[in-house]
Amino acid sequence: GQNIDQPTEMTATEGAIVQINCTYQTSGFNGLFWYQQHAGEAPTFLSYNVLDGLEEKGRFSSFLSRSKGYSYLLLKELQMKDSASYLCAVSYDSGGYQKVTFGTGTKLQVIP
């Protein structure tokens, strides 16, 4: 099976930087997604990493190390609206199909 681990909850201050980590043990690994999910809403796509390294997209950046089975999502200049759950999801080959399995999510609370 797929084993994905991320912290359950985090708290950070408005304007600060926060890093949300995700570790995984996945056979047939293709890549790693990050999704944002506000309470009562559907997940929305943030990023997808296939190669090692950092990808920056505005205030959000995502990093991947395939050899270490590790990724993080970096949020800069935090805003109150960033309070949400952040889901790490791995894409992998399974029986000739591509599947995506989600981690349990990290609930981020941004405080003034």
What one-letter code names the amino acid at 85?
S
**Tokens of residue 101, six digits:** 């399995």
Q: Which residues bind another protein (CB under 8 A)?
A: 30-31, 33, 35, 41-45, 48, 50, 87, 89, 91, 93, 96-105
User: Whole-number minimum distance, CB 5 to another protein, in Å?
Assistant: 12
User: Whole-number minimum distance, CB 30 to another protein, in Å?
Assistant: 4
User: Whole-number minimum distance, CB 104 to another protein, in Å?
Assistant: 5
Total count of residues recorded for the chain: 112
**Tokens of residue 78, six digits:** 């935090």
Q: What are phi and psi of 7, to 5 degrees?
A: -65, 150
Judged by beta carbon, residue 16 or residue 50, the one nearer another protein is 50
Geometric angle at alpha carbon 98, from 72 and 38, rounded to 5°: 45
| Residue 90, beta-bridge partner list | 32, 101
Judged by beta carbon, residue 40 or residue 112, the one nearer another protein is 40
User: Whole-number minimum distance, CB 87 to another protein, in Å?
Assistant: 6
Judged by beta carbon, residue 95 or residue 112, the one nearer another protein is 95
